[in-house]
A and B are shown apart, each in its own frame.
Chain A
Amino acid sequence: MKLAMKTMLALVLAASVPVAQDAEAGFPGLGAARNPRVEIAWNRLYDFEDIYAHLDRLVAEWPDLLSMQVIGHSVENREMRVYTLNNGATGADTEKPAFWLDGNVHGNEVQGGEGVVYCAWYLLENYGTNERVTELVDRSAFYLLPMQNPDGRSNWFKHAHNAHSSRSGVMPLDRDLDGLADEDGPDDLDGDGSIVQMRKYVPGTGTHRLNRDDPRIMERVPTNERGIRGDWILLGSEGIDNDGDGRINEDSLGGYDMNRAWPSLWFPDHVQFGAGPYPLYWPEARCIARFILDHPNIAGVQSYHNSGGMILRGPGAEVFGPYPRADVSVYDAIGQDGEKMLPFYRYMIIWKDLYSVFGGFVNWTYEGLGIFSFTNEMWASNRNSPDDRVEGGSEGRQWFDDHLLMGAGFVDWHEYDHPLYGKIEIGGFKKDVGRVPPSFLIEEMLHRNAMFVIRHAETMPSVSIAEPVVAELGDGVRTIDVIVSNEKLMPTRSSLAVRDELGAPDLITIEGDGIEVLAGGFRTDRFRPERIDLQDHDPARLIRDEGVGSLEEVRVRWIVRGGGSVTIRVTSEKAQDASRSFEF
C-alpha cells in the first residue's frame, strides 16, 4: 500500500510524463520500452558525436528528468559531459543517493558508451509505467558519463586500429625516450583501414606453420630434437620503423592508462605502467574526480569496460589488505546476482583473480571514498557460442566469422612488399572482432548490464523513521523512543568509510520549541532500555558516524522535558534525509 501510494504521488508530481494509460500499446513483458518515445538502434556501435547526440535526444524528450552539464574537456578539447537523470519534483539530485555510471576509459573499450546510453534510455522509457523503475528514479539520481576517454574512442572509430589499440588517451608521450613522442606506432601499410598482423614465408627456418585444416591460422611449431622447423615467422602488428631507430612500433599513440591515474594506492609509471607523473594528471580524469568529490551523495559506482565477462571489485592490489567484512557481504550479494544476470560473467577480485592494479578508478571510489563500486568488463566471447559445439580458440573464431558474419571480421592474408622484411603477408582479425559483440548480440549485452546497474542502484540506502513511542516519567519528563531503519542492502556509510573516517557522519536530531532535551543516545540492547550510549554534548543532535547499516534498525532514545510539536530528522550523505513530525 505504502509503495503504491508513493508511486501514485510520483506520477502526479512528474507532470511532464504522459502516463501510458493505453494498455494496448506494445508488449511490456518483453523488457524494454513498450512503445519507445526515442528510437535508438541497439545493434550498433556509435562514434563519439553520435553517443552525445543520442543522449541529447533523450534530454529533449525528457527535459524534466534528464539534464546535461559539461564538466571539463579532453586533451583534444572534446566535451566531458555528465548527464544527470533526476526527477526534480521529488527533490534535488544532490539530496538523493546517486549512482555514477561511466564507460570507455580505455579508448578501444567502446561499448561502455552505448551501455551508458542504454541505461539512461531504459530508465526514461520505463519511468511512469514500470513501478520499480519509477520508484528507483524518484528516490535516486544517476550521474551518467558515457565516455571517460572521448579522444581514444574517436581515434578508434576514425583511424586504423586493432581490437587492443587506442586504449590510451592521446596526449603525446615519448615512450621510448628518444626525444620524440608517438613517432613510431603501427601503420596501416595496405591502407585497408585495419591494423592486422604481418607474417613471412621462410621455408624451413621459421617458428610457425599453417594449420592443416585452415591455413589462415598460424600455429607455433613445438621445439623438438628432430629439428623440424616451421616455414613461417610472425612479425607483429602491421608497421615499419618510422623513426629509423632499428625498432618497429615501439612508440605508438599516447602510451598511458587513465584507469591507473586515481589517487588511492597510486604508484608512478615505473611501478604501475601508464600511471603518469602524478595522480589525476590528465584533464579527463581530473574533472571526473572533481565532480565525484563534489557529489558526496554518490553511493554506487559502475565503470563499463570490455571484455572477458568480469564483474570486478577491489582490492586492486594485495597491499591494501582485505575489505571490511560487512562491506564484502554487500559486494557479494550484488556481485553474485550479477553472475546470474550476466551469463558467462564472473564476479572477481581484481588483484587476486585478474592482475594487480594500482590507482584504478573503482579502487579510488571505494578505497578512497567508501562507495560500493564495480568495474564491469562487458562482453564474454563465450556468448558467441554458448556450448561446445563450436570449439574455442582460433578455429572457433574463424568458424564463427565464416558462418555467422560471412567472413566480414577477417582480413585474408595477402602479399605486401615491406621496406625491411621484403615480401610478407598481411592479415588477421579486424578491430571490431574480439572485444565487442557482433551486432546481433549487442542489445542483449546492453540490457543485461543495465539491469545489473539497476540491481546495484536499487540497493542504495533508504532511511525511514518509525512512529515514535513516548512514555511519561512524571513531572513533564518523558522518554521518546524512535527506530530509524534502512530498508536497503547498502548501509548509509560503508564500513570502510567508518573505519577510515571518510565523508560526514549521519545525524539524528530532535527539535521542538516546547521541549528541553535532557539526554539522548543510541540503545544497545533492544530489550533493556537502560542500556544506552549517551551522547554527552548536544544530545538533541546525535552523531551517528557508523551510519545506519544494511537492513539495520537503530534505536534512539531521548529523555525530554515538555511537549508540543516535535520533529525528528535523519541526515545522511548517501540517503535522502528523512523526517517525522508529531505532537505529544
Chain B
Amino acid sequence: MLIPTPMFGVALATLVSATSAPLGDVESLSHARLSEALAAVASEHPDVASLHRVGVSREGRAIEALRLTGTEDPSNHPALLLVANLEGPRVFESGVVLDHARRLANAYESDESVRALLDTTVVWFVPRANPDAAEGRFASPSIERWASSIDVDNDRDGRRGEDGPADVNGDGVVTTMRVLDPEGEWMEDPTDARVLIQADRVKGERGKWRLYPESRDLDGDETFGEDAPRDAQVDRNFASGWEEHVARAGTFPTDEPEARALCEFVMAQKNLALVVVYDGHDNLVEKPKSVADDAAPVKRVPPYGVLESDAELLEEIGREYREQTKNEAKGDGEDAGTFARWCYDHRGLVTLSAVLWNLPDEAPAADEDADAAEGDDGAVTEEAAADEAAPAEEEDDEVSESDAKPSDDAKHLLWIDGAGESWRFVDWTPFDHPELGSVEIGGFAPFARSEPPQDAWTKIADAHFDWFQGLGELLPRIELVECEREKLGTGVWKVTATLTNDAYLPLLSRSMQRTRTTRPAKVSLVLPDGATLLSGNTQELVRDLAGSGGRAEFEWLVHGPDGMELGVSVDSDHAGRAFRKAEVSQ
C-alpha cells in the first residue's frame, strides 16, 4: 500500500521489508525509542516544542510530556492535553500521539491553520502514560500487561504472586491451555473448531475442554495462573468510581506513581480546558451514560454519569468525530477508576475518549483499497466466509452447520484468516505439560485484539490527526466585545461591558461548575483614583457562559470627572484574559 509518511517512516519501512514477522515491527514504539523520538521533536523545533517530565513510573521510567505552543505567555491561553497508553497493551496509540505532535511541529512554519492553532493554544502530548506495562509489548515472551505493581494474594493461600501466566511451551507468546476433560465447560464452536465457546447444558450441549491461562502449577495447588505477580492497573487507580478491595484497582487511588503523577500534572495545568485519551475506553462512538444536571443524591452520594448539559455537547462532538474519522470502535464500557473519568467527574474537564481500533468481526472486503467497504453491511460476506472457514471434520455433534451462528471469536477469526494476519491466532498445539500432562496450547495471541494491522496505521493516524487538529476550536475563549461609558449627568457614568465566548465549549462545563476546580472568569471594573463606585461590584465571578456565542453583560454606575480613564478587565486561568477601555458611547 501506501507511501510512508514522515510519521511512521521507520516503522513502515520495517513493515514493508518484514511482513513475515509483524510482531517485531512496533519496536520503534519501545520506551527508549519513543523517548528519543520525543526528544528529537523538541530539539528540532525549539520555537514551538519543549519536553517536560510528568513523573517517573514504578520501575523508574520517565513519563514524558511534549508541549507545543507558539504563544508568548502560555498561561494566557487554553490548553489541550492528549494522553495515550494508560493501560499498557495499546502501544500503537502512543505512536499516533507522537505522530500528531510531530506533524503539528513540522507544519508550524508552513501551515497557516496549524500556526493559528499553536499561536493561541497550548497542546500537551503524553504518548505513554504507563511505560512499565507497555514494555510487556516489547518483552520476550511478549505479554499483555495492564498491571505494573502491587502483588495481591488472589487465591488467599497466604502466598503472593506464586503462579502467574507464563510461556510454558516456549513459543514466544503467552496464550491459553486446553485440556480434554469430561467436566470441562468449553466446547468447540460448530462454525470454527479453533474457537471454544461455553457449553450450555440447557440446550443439551456438553463441555469437552477445560481452559487455563498458559501457566505452570508451581505451588502444586492444582490451580493454574491463579496468582499473577502484578495486580494494580494504572488506569483503575484514579479516584472516581475507584473499586475498593478489587486487586486491579490498587491499594488506594493514586498509589500507583503514574496515576498520581498524572493527577498532579493535570492539576498543575491551570489553563487546561480539554482532555483527549486514546486507549481502551470510548465516549465518542457510544454515548456515555448520563444523569440529570440536578439528579438527587442517593444517601448523600450523587449518582454518577455525565451531566446532561455536558452529555449533549459530547454527543455533538462524538457525531463530528465519527464523521471525520469513520471510526466505529467502542470501548469496554467500564470506566471505574479511569483517568478519563477522574478528569471529568472530579476535575470537571471535558474529556474525550477514543478507541482507535478493535479487532474486526467480519472478513475484510475483497478489495483492500476500496474504502467504501468500511461502512457496508458485512452480513453477506460474513456468511460466505463462515461456510468456507468452518472446519467440519472434527464435528461429531448434532448441531447442523447451517443453523449455527458463529461466536464473536469465530467472527474475529474470519477477519484474521481473510486479512492474512495469522500471528493473531496461535493454532492449538499439543504439549506435554509437567503438571497437567497432555494439553494443547494456543488461542488468540497477545495484542491480537487491540493492535491494528500495520497497513492500517497511517490511515487511522491520518483520520485522527485531522480531527485532533480541529479541537482548538472547541476550547473556551473569552473576549470583551463591548465596553462603553454613558454620561447620565454631571460626573455620573453608566459603564457597560459584554463578555462573549465564541468557541464551542462553555466557559465552564456543568461538571466544572460543580467541582469548582477551575476558577470562573473574574470581571473587574478598573477605577482610577478620584472615581467612586455608585452601583455594582468591582469584581464579578462568571461561571455560566455558554459557548457558540454565549454572552454575559455587566453594568456599573461610577462617579468621577469627565476625563477619567475607565476600563474593564477579565481574567481566567483557562480561557484567556482581556482589558478594554470604556469608550464614551455616542
Contact = CB atoms under 8 A, between A and B. Distances in A.
Interface of A: 174, 177-179, 244-246, 263-271, 277-280, 289, 293, 317-319, 356, 358, 367-368, 500-502, 504-505, 507, 536-538, 541, 543, 545, 571
A341 B537 CA distance: 56
B206 interface: no
Contact of A177 (B245, B300, B519): B519
B158 A178 contact: no
B522 A538 contact: no
B201 interface: no
B245 A244 contact: no
A277 B252 contact: no
B35 to A, nearest CB: 27
21 contacts: A177-B541, A179-B522, A244-B538, A244-B539, A246-B539, A264-B244, A266-B242, A268-B240, A268-B515, A278-B254, A278-B342, A279-B239, A293-B251, A319-B301, A356-B300, A502-B245, A504-B153, A536-B222, A537-B222, A538-B220, A543-B157
Given A246-B538, A263-B253, 9 more contacts: A267-B301, A270-B514, A277-B517, A278-B238, A278-B254, A293-B251, A317-B300, A317-B301, A319-B299
Interface in B70-104: none
B515 A177 contact: no
B156 interface: yes
B276 to A, nearest CB: 21
Contacts of A271: 297, 300-302
Interface of B: 153, 156-158, 220-222, 238-240, 242, 244-245, 251-254, 260, 263, 267, 297-302, 342, 345-347, 514-517, 519-520, 522, 537-539, 541, 571, 573
B158 A279 contact: no
Given A178-B539, A271-B301, A543-B158, A280 B519 contact: no
A277 B301 CA distance: 17
Given A178-B522, A266-B239, A268-B515, A505 B156 contact: yes
Nearest to B270: A179
A501 B538 contact: no
A507 B158 contact: yes
A504 B158 contact: yes
B299 A278 contact: no
A21 to B, nearest CB: 46
A200 to B, nearest CB: 23
Contacts of A500: 245
Contacts of A263: 242, 244, 252-253
Given A280-B252, A356-B300, A177 B222 contact: no
Chain A CB within 10 A, most for which of B302, B346, B522, B573: B346
A368 to B, nearest CB: 7
A278 B346 contact: yes
Contacts of B242: 263, 266
At the interface, is chain B mostly helix, strand, loop or mixed?
loop
A277 B267 contact: yes
Nearest to A280: B252
A213 to B, nearest CB: 42
Contacts of A317: 299-301
Contacts of A280: 252, 254
A266 B515 contact: no
A319 B300 contact: yes
A538 B221 contact: yes
Contacts of A543: 156-158
A24 B48 CA distance: 84
A349 to B, nearest CB: 14
A277 B520 CA distance: 18
Nearest to B300: A356
A271 B242 CA distance: 15
A294 to B, nearest CB: 11
In the A-B complex, the 9 residue pairs with the closest CB atoms:
A263-B252, A177-B519, A537-B221, A318-B299, A319-B299, A268-B346, A278-B239, A500-B245, A278-B254
A256 to B, nearest CB: 13
B54 to A, nearest CB: 15
Contact of B519 (A178, A267, A319): A178
Contacts of B347: 277
Nearest to A245: B539
Given A277-B517, A279-B239, A280-B252, A501 B263 contact: no
A182 B267 CA distance: 18
